Amino acid sequence: MSEILSPIIPLPTSDFKITVREPQKILLSNTIPVYYIDAGTQDIIRLEIFFDAGIIRQQKPFQALLANMMLMEGTKTRTGAQISEDVDFYGGYLSVDYAKDFSTITLHILNKYFEKALVVLQDILMNSVFPESELDKLIKSERSAYAIDSEKVGYLGQKKLNEVLYNGHPYGVHSEVSDFNKISRDDVVDFYKQYNLSSATITLAGNIKERELSLVDKFIGNIPFDQQKKADLPRNFKALYGDHFVEKKDALQSAIKIGGHLPMKGSDDFFGLLMLNTILGGYFGSRLMNNLREDKGWTYGISSYIESAAVSSSFIVSTEVKGDITQKAITEIFKEMDVLKQEPVSALELDKVRTYMLGKFLKNLDGPFELSDRFWGIHQFGLTYDYYQKYLSTVKGISAAELQNLAQKYFIREKLVSLSVGPK
């Protein structure tokens, strides 16, 4: 019989330093900042425009969603179909998205067609008209999609988690299907004012030369805008810690969400918490995966992650299990947290996680778009590239005792939300 060898885990070294390539900055003629990274060998560009127009700025449910999507539904010179056709014709991709803090317009295009695509983008930025007929169609479509999503325990779980973690804050606004009937074109156009270019930041990544920078200035740098004073961000919320349950009678599965608040991104404890989270549920070999999936077979997958936003960072554990073992699964999740509080992580596990995190970090620097993502990941929080050196230093040097202290400090049951959505 041949000998079965255990996998060899390469140990991370502590005598190297990774330099994260920083973007260069220019100001367009209208003073909009552009951060660009000239890297890569392919003639392709990604342009992103970030607007201070996320959920945190909306006054009604779905304002950010509808205003964002309506940008692609028609201008004074193009219908929504023509916008898509004009970009598709040149092999490009133009998309819009929104999140808690920002809304984004993203363009992917070959260098040789960059000017053609910028003509369309300029039209969207200057001449969007929000046609009532298209808004009615969009509301009908999104209302239907929302109704379908609202039948899914995972979706309901995330919605409820936001409500209880951010009680009293726009992040946690309670929304129902009927809210689509309460929003008007005036509400959408009013929110569109948040897209004023005075709040915009542009990132460019790819094969960026003087031509590309000049074209951005030609088509976006000449757009006039009024300087707007933004209202202070709402920061007050009162988390409803403790146990929560949402009944979904016909569900076969239960969604489990456990979460709490953490220090802001870049704070002293934050870096160690990233590693603690990885050990608990942040990668395929994590303790939660080994327990609930590999050992007990209760779930196809379970994960924990840290999400940073403008007013708070949050820690979340997420999974789905059969309804009849919901409480057992919740008990096991808290058990794994308690073990991290009571026992130091072994040297072998710590080295494995160090290697994983360093490898993932290097992978996330592989290419111009990834480098641009690393920039925005700190810039939006007012951080500098020292953040990444502190991250690397922590991953390479944090001790088991320090991780245990962090678990004792933050894995406190009374300061966590535990909720499930599913059958009783």
| Pick from 13-17, 48-52, 366-370: least confident | 13-17
3-state secondary structure of 410: helix
Q: Domain 24-219 carries which CATH code?
A: 3.30.830.10
DSSP state, 230? P
Whole-number pLDDT of residue 196: 83
Whole-number pLDDT of residue 195: 85
Distance in angstroms (rounded) separating the CA atoms of residues 146 and 300:
25
Q: Is 6 left (phi over 0), alpha (psi -120 to 50) or beta?
A: beta
pLDDT in tens, 133-188: 999 999 999 999 999 999 999 999 999 999 999 999 999 999 999 999 999 999 99
pLDDT in tens, 177-211: 999 999 999 999 999 988 888 889 999 999 999 99
3-state secondary structure of 379: helix
Whole-number pLDDT of residue 16: 57
Reading the block at residue 287, the tokens are: 């303790």
Q: Where does the chain hold its CATH 3.30.830.10 domain(s)? A: 24-219, 242-422
Residue 206: φ, ψ to 5°: 130, -145
The answer to whether 39 and 368 are in contact (CB under 8 A) is yes
Whole-number pLDDT of residue 230: 79
DSSP state, 336? H
Distance in angstroms (rounded) separating the CA atoms of residues 320 and 325:
10
Distance in angstroms (rounded) separating the CA atoms of residues 68 and 204:
21
Give percent of the chain above pLDDT 70. 96
Adjacency order of strands within the sheet including 44-51 = 24-27, 33-38, 201-206, 44-51, 103-110, 93-98
Query: Considering the chain, what is the average pLDDT of its residues?
Result: 93
Whole-number pLDDT of residue 359: 93
pLDDT in tens, 366-406: 899 999 999 999 999 999 999 999 999 999 999 999 999 99
3-state secondary structure of 135: helix
Whole-number pLDDT of residue 15: 54
pLDDT in tens, 248-295: 999 999 999 999 999 999 999 999 999 999 999 999 999 999 999 999
Distance in angstroms (rounded) separating the CA atoms of residues 374 and 385:
9
pLDDT in tens, 308-351: 999 999 999 999 999 999 999 999 999 999 999 999 999 999 99
Whole-number pLDDT of residue 5: 40
3-state secondary structure of 287: helix
Q: Domain 242-422 carries which CATH code?
A: 3.30.830.10
Contacts of 75 (CB under 8 A, 6+ apart): 83, 123, 124, 126, 127, 128, 129
Q: Quick check: 304 pLDDT over 50?
A: yes
Question: Which helix (H) or strand (E) element contains residue 420?
Answer: strand 417-422
Whole-number pLDDT of residue 198: 87
pLDDT band at 300 (very low <50, low <70, confident <90, very high): very high
Distance in angstroms (rounded) separating the CA atoms of residues 164 and 159:
9
